[in-house]
Amino acid sequence: MLVKLATRNLKLYDNLQAEAGFNFLLRKSGYVKIAKEEDAEVIERETRFLRKQGVEVELMQPEDVGLLFPDINVEAFSAASYFADGGVVFPWPVIWGLAKGCRKLGVRIYDYTPANVVVENRKVKGVKTPEGFHRADYVINAAGAWSNEVSREAGVDLNNRIVREEICVIESLKPYIDPYIIDISRGLYVSQSMRGEIVGGIVGEVNGINMKSSLDFLVRYARSVTQLIPKLRGLSVLRQWAGIYDVSRDNRPVAGFTNVEGFVQLNGFGRQGMSIGVAAGEELAKLLFGKRSLFGD
C-alpha cells in the first residue's frame, strides 16, 4: 500500500503544481539510503521487496555511491541503495501551493485557529472554534503529532508514538550534493537546497510534545555529518529547529472510519508524510464518497 501511495504521490505533485500554479520546488535528483554493516540486511531486504513491487531501486556498493557524490566518506557505511526518481520536496511551498489551489476552489482555510471536535451520542456534530460552531458530517483527524489529543477529545483510542526531528541549516556552498542521503544506522539525513544551504537532521522518539532545540543534537549531528561528509567541517550553522510528528504502532498510516460516526482518521504517517500525504488524501476522499479505495470499500 505504501508503495502504491508513494508512486501516486509523485504523479500528483507534478499535476498539482500546474493545477495550483505554484512551484513545489520538487527536485528529483535521486535518493540514497546507506547503513552500517549491522543494518545492511535491512537495506537489502527492503530493496528486494521494492523491486518486486516494480520500483526501480538498486543496491549499491559504497564505491558506487562515491561515484554519485565524490565527497562522501565511503568508509563510513557498508551498504547502500539508490532510487534515481527520488529526491527532495520542500514542505512550505507544497502547503502554500495546496492552500492557494483550495482557496481558488472556494475552500475556507482558518489559519492559526484552535478547533475542538464536538461529539454527541457517539456521533460527530462538527467543530467549535473561537468564531463559533461549524457543523460537519465528517471531521478528519489529520493533526499529526496532536492526533492522539484530538482522538481523545472525540472518545477514540489512537495511541500513536511521537517522534521529534531536530534539523539545522549550514552555510551555503556551491550546489553539489545532488541526491538526498539518509543513514538509517545513525538516524541521520542530509541534502542541499537550491540556494546551496546544507540541510540535515536526526530523528528520535520522544515522550509527549517537545519542540525545543538542543545543544546535544547539534553536537551529535556535527559529529555524524562530518564523519560522512568531511568537507563540511568548519562550516557555520545558520539556524536550527525541531519538529514533531506521529507514527502509528504498525508504521502504516492510520486512515478510515472509527467507532464514532463521522470521526475519520488520517494520521500516523511518520517521516512519510511528504512522500504519501497527498495521495493518502485522495484515497480518503474516495472512501468518504463511497468509492473503492486503498483504505477499504
- For residue 237, what are the contacts with CB-CB under 8 A and spacing of at least 6? 168, 169, 170, 171, 218
User: What is the per-residue pLDDT for 213?
Assistant: 87
Percentages (nearest 5) of helix, strand, coil residues in the chain? 35, 30, 35
β-pairing, 139-141 with 263-267? Answer: parallel
CA dihedral over 36, 39, 45, 49, signed as positive or negative? negative
pLDDT, tens only, 4-63: 999 999 899 989 999 999 999 888 899 999 999 999 999 999 999 999 999 999 999 999
> Residue 35: is it exposed, middle or buried by C-beta count within 10 angstroms (0-12/13-18/19+)?
buried
Task: Take residue 115 and report the three cell numbers written for it.
Answer: 478547533
CA distance 105 to 84: 35
Instruction: Tally the residues of the chain.
Output: 297
User: What is the per-residue pLDDT for 30?
Assistant: 93
40 contacts 78 by C-beta, under 8 angstroms: yes
- For residue 44, what are the contacts with CB-CB under 8 A and spacing of at least 6? 59, 79
Look at residue 171 and give its three-state secondary structure.
coil
CATH number belonging to domain 31-41+57-84+161-247: 3.30.9.10
166 contacts 188 by C-beta, under 8 angstroms: no
User: What is the per-residue pLDDT for 297?
Assistant: 65
For residue 207, give the DSSP letter: S
Q: What is the DSSP string of 218-248?
A: HHHHHHHHHHH-GGGTTPPEEEEEEEEEEE-
CA dihedral over 288, 155, 133, 266, signed as positive or negative? negative
- For residue 295, what are the contacts with CB-CB under 8 A and spacing of at least 6? 255, 256, 283, 284, 287
For residue 31, give the DSSP letter: E
Low-confidence ranges of the chain (pLDDT < 70): 297
Which residue, among 194, 177, 179, has the nearest Cα to 229 in the 3D structure?
Answer: 177
Look at residue 131 and give its three-state secondary structure.
coil
For residue 179, give the DSSP letter: S
* Neighbour count for residue 23 (Cβ, 10 Å): 11
CA distance 247 to 159: 9
